[in-house]
Structure 1
Amino acid sequence: MGFGLVVRFVAHDAAAAHAFDRLARETLEQIRAMEPGTLVSINHAVPDQPRVRVFYELYADREAFEEHERQPHVRRFLAERGQYLESFEVTFLDEIDGKGSATCTA
């Protein structure tokens, strides 16, 4: 069953938001190349809120998420993100059903 999360980040200012985006981009490059169990990992900007970013992440299962968390590029992201952020909030998601979901076969 799929496992996911949504994270809302608030940067200190617009410059910090752009620096956060660079860190996220570097991390996402490694996620794409090295994490087959990470099905979706997207950094979103929020219209009219230049300091806000929202991550949406979907994993094949909880073990894929745990493997993701062990990766050096993710550990670097987690260690460095704080310098850019005023706050963040994580919401974990257990998949029920959906189009393009980990459990959908058609």
Structure 2
Amino acid sequence: MGFGLVVRFVAHDTAAAQAFDTLAEEALNGIRAKEPGTLVYVNHFVADEPRVRVFYELYADRAAFDEHERQPHVRRFLAERGQYLESFEVTFLDEISGKGSSVDQAPR
């Protein structure tokens, strides 16, 4: 069953938001290349809130998320992100149902 999270980041200022985006893109390069269990990993900006970024992340399962967290590119992101941020909030998500979800694809 799918496992996901949404993270809302608030940067100190717009310059910090841009530096944060660069750091996130470096992590994303590793995620694309080395993480088959990471199904979706997207950095969004929020209209009219230039300091805010929202990540949406979806993993095949909790084990895939745990493996993601162990990767060097992710550990670097987690270690360095704080210098750019005023705050962040993580919401963990356990799948119930949906279009294109693992529950939707499961045999009945």
TM-score by structure 2 length? 0.95
Structure 2 Cα separation of the partners of residues 16 and 48 of structure 1: 16
> Could you say which residue in structure 2 is the equivalent of 1:82?
82
Tell me, yes or no, if structure 1 residue 52 matches structure 2 residue 36. no
SS of aligned partner of 2:50: strand
Q: Alpha-carbon deviations, 1:8-63, whole Å to 9, x = none?
A: 00000000000000000110111011000000000000000000000000000000
SS of aligned partner of 1:104: helix
Which one-letter code corresponds to 2:49 in the other structure? Q
Unaligned runs of 5+ in 1: none
Structure 2 Cα separation of the partners of residues 45 and 27 of structure 1: 17
Q: Alpha-carbon deviations, 1:46-103, whole Å to 9, x = none?
A: 0000000000000000000000000000000000000000000000000011112133
> Could you say which residue in structure 2 is the equivalent of 1:69?
69
Identity %: 81
> Could you say which residue in structure 1 is the equivalent of 2:32?
32
Cα RMSD between the aligned structures?
1.0
Structure 1 Cα separation of the partners of residues 102 and 57 of structure 2: 12
Runs of 4+ in 1 over 3 A off after TM superposition: none
Aligned positions, number: 106
TM-score by structure 1 length? 0.97
Unaligned runs of 5+ in 2: none
